[in-house]
């Protein structure tokens, strides 16, 4: 578990900025005028359905924890691999996102019978958010 020793090399400002960027990308990505309307149509929900869904912190808190942990793990891996620029960090994170995040969407949405639009929109978001996060972390290494 020597990769944990790289936690001490984390640039916490970079992690915070990657987290904030990820949240901002999600906010814009899923705005109704951007891809939100298409995403809602693909999942069979309306804006009112989502507003009345409830859950509040039960939805937001786990999502924010996952985004924070993603940024932290990216920082550890980028430090461990010695990626010290935005391009290297962004490409590494893009590949990680393609394999683990988009791959997961393809598998789970495929078996759940969800429309391809859901997979494409969610995967696209994850790839952009991961690549930007990796670029920030790599660039600030």
pLDDT digits (tens, 9 = 90+) for 22-77: 999 999 999 999 999 999 999 999 888 888 877 777 888 999 999 999 999 999 99
Residue 107 C-alpha from the chain's centroid: 17
DSSP 70-91: HHHHHHHHHHHHT--SHHHHHH
94 and 130 in contact (C-beta within 8 Å)? Answer: yes
pLDDT digits (tens, 9 = 90+) for 75-120: 999 999 999 999 999 999 999 999 999 999 999 999 999 999 999 9
Distances from the Cα of 136 to the Cα of 33, 45, 71, 89, 108, angstroms? 27, 34, 10, 8, 29
Helix axes 12-29, 116-139, angle to 10 degrees: 150
- CA 17 to CA 12: how far, in whole Å? 9
Tokens for 139, please give them: 């660039």
- CA 91 to CA 33: how far, in whole Å? 28
- CA 11 to CA 19: how far, in whole Å? 13
Average pLDDT over residues 3-26: 92
pTM over 0.85: yes
- CA 138 to CA 82: how far, in whole Å? 9
């Amino acid at each position: 578990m020597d990769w944990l020793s790289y936690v001490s090399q984390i640039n916490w400002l970079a992690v915070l900025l990657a987290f904030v960027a990820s949240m901002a990308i999600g906010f814009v990505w899923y705005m109704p005028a951007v891809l939100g309307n298409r995403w809602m149509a693909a999942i069979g929900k309306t804006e009112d359905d989502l507003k009345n869904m409830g859950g509040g912190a039960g939805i937001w808190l786990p999502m924010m924890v996952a985004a924070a942990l993603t940024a932290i793990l990216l920082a550890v891996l980028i430090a461990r691999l010695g990626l010290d620029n935005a391009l290297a960090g962004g490409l590494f994170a893009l590949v990680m996102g393609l394999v683990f995040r988009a791959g997961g969407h393809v598998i789970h949405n495929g078996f759940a019978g969800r429309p391809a639009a859901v997979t494409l929109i969610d995967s696209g978001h994850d790839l952009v958010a991961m690549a930007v996060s990796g670029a920030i972390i790599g660039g600030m290494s």
